[in-house]
Chains A and B, each alone.
Chain A
């Protein structure tokens, strides 16, 4: 394609196309609103380029197919929305324990339970605290535009392969369904040699590889987990990302990610017009979390507010980083209701007026 040209894409389509261009030709999934276009796009495109699209019998089956494909050394992905991610969580833990790279997309919808099909960000705790059982982390990217969805898919695959761990694109229904112009990057996809660990055939050149998460001896299991956590520290030190907006002179700081950060920005601009010195910290990675930037802002800010489409989940990470220095407030909606710029502006005015 003439990749330099701007095209108009729906978030879900952009995720799928970016994955294909990043060299992912193996997709296993199960349809669920509001992410179904990812699977639909893959179903249409992958057979035409010699890839594999498979609609599994369930989300549980799909994530285990991703396990198999990743263990064989190819780039593989799955995609779902909130309830489906819960079903995948066992497989995610197994993949993290087997040091397998992959991409998991969560286009979040209203929850808990079957919940609803409107946008939400209420899976923050799940993504950053317990994407599966056990001592583990996965990379969590939080795009706020369709362009960023594309760019983060490339980055997610690359970091997943580099650190041999699962990565997640953490989107919401709004981002999945909306359309914006995007440009696909023209850079070469970095190739990773997985021969040393993947089950791709030993060709008589090495012992056969085993990819496994069952470790028979407790001391061996501890050693592996501790080793993995050392790798997590390297990821934290090198790959934490966030955007700072009007932060330098900010007396009040909004923290928001994904679609909510776009709404917060609108409100912040309006508050600035009214003379309120307010800025934005927008985490682009949720694990690792940009705690350092939040802590630094807490040295001069009077108060923080986390704005989310949840009952208040990321606000925990803001509070941990602020460490009691100043008040940290929360504003949000849940269940598929999206906060409006006007509501956020009202909250900023209240915070600045000391009315919270």
Chain B
């Protein structure tokens, strides 16, 4: 998915559009392609289910994780670390997982000038046609405008990440292809790809001939879904 994208890739979208899961996938994809990678968790809104939850996986894979100092702790303080400033101005691949909506994107605004100075970024707008209040293209566009204003950056592509969590079928994803295209077209942005859980990606490809389907692994899981995999 990262082919042709700039060194700094920023992932934005509505709450629950699946940004964190996509960010983790992109970081791993880039690392496995041999790049030096940084995954930055810039989410100052969400207390749980965030990139910082994957510190062990990132360490194992040799990916540097940069997260707000108190992420995952009991302190509700959105303090960002200075480490990201240095990394933006490096030659490493940086994947930035931003908090939802304009509230989350506000933290990104603080870095916009630095990102532009470092050669700019590709800002992906992740949409999920099954999320309540973003199901119409109009609603999705409104949120994008709010995000861009807060981020002081422009989106460069749309990613269709439509899903119903663990209940997602290939047909569910294909059904929202039109919605994602509509969002992209009305905003004059390219539709980068449709994402699909690995085991149904082939099926989605058959349902959407000629379109780019990127398989993703589901990392963001509930405790009872993880069950006994680590034992």
Contacts and interface: CB of A to CB of B under 8 A. Distances in A.
Contacts of A40: 103
Contact of B223 (A13, A180, A181, A340): A340
Contacts of B135: 7
Contacts of B230: 342
Interface of B: 15-16, 46-49, 73-76, 103, 128, 130-132, 135, 163-165, 167, 222-224, 226-228, 230-231
Contacts of A179: 16, 165
Nearest to A264: B224
Contacts of A34: 47-48
A66 B31 CA distance: 53
| Majority-rule SS of B interface residues | loop
A342 B228 contact: yes
29 contacts: A6-B164, A7-B131, A8-B16, A8-B163, A8-B164, A9-B131, A10-B16, A33-B47, A37-B15, A110-B74, A119-B48, A173-B47, A173-B48, A174-B222, A174-B223, A177-B46, A178-B222, A179-B165, A180-B165, A181-B164, A181-B165, A181-B167, A262-B224, A263-B224, A266-B228, A270-B227, A336-B74, A342-B228, A345-B228
Interface in A74-130: 110, 115-119
B223 to A, nearest CB: 6
Contact of B74 (A10, A13, A115, A266): A115
Interface in A1-32: 6-10, 13, 17
A118 B223 CA distance: 14
B224 A33 contact: no
Contact of B132 (A17, A116, A117): A17
B53 to A, nearest CB: 12
B16 to A, nearest CB: 5
Interface of A: 6-10, 13, 17, 33-34, 37, 40, 110, 115-119, 173-174, 177-181, 259, 262-263, 265-266, 270, 336, 338, 340-342, 345
Contacts of B163: 8
| Majority-rule SS of A interface residues | mixed
Contacts of A345: 228
Given A181-B165, A262-B224, A342-B231, A8 B130 contact: yes
A266 B227 CA distance: 6
B186 to A, nearest CB: 21
A61 B105 CA distance: 31
B154 to A, nearest CB: 24
B224 A266 contact: yes
A8 B131 contact: yes
Contact of B227 (A9, A13, A341): A341
A183 to B, nearest CB: 11
Contacts of B222: 174, 178, 262
Nearest to A265: B224
Given A8-B165, A265-B224, 20 more contacts: A8-B16, A8-B131, A9-B131, A17-B132, A33-B47, A34-B47, A110-B74, A115-B74, A116-B73, A117-B47, A117-B74, A119-B48, A178-B49, A179-B165, A180-B165, A259-B223, A263-B224, A341-B223, A341-B226, A342-B231
Nearest to A44: B133
A73 to B, nearest CB: 29
Given A7-B131, A8-B165, A179-B165, A341 B224 contact: yes
Residue among A8, A119, A174, A180 having the largest count of chain B Cβ atoms under 10 Å: A8
A96 to B, nearest CB: 31
Contact of A10 (B15, B73, B130, B227): B15
Residue among B48, B227, B230 having the largest count of chain A Cβ atoms under 10 Å: B48
Contacts of A259: 223
B49 to A, nearest CB: 6
B50 to A, nearest CB: 10
Contacts of A265: 224
A217 to B, nearest CB: 48
Contacts of B47: 33-34, 117-118, 173, 177
A13 B132 contact: yes
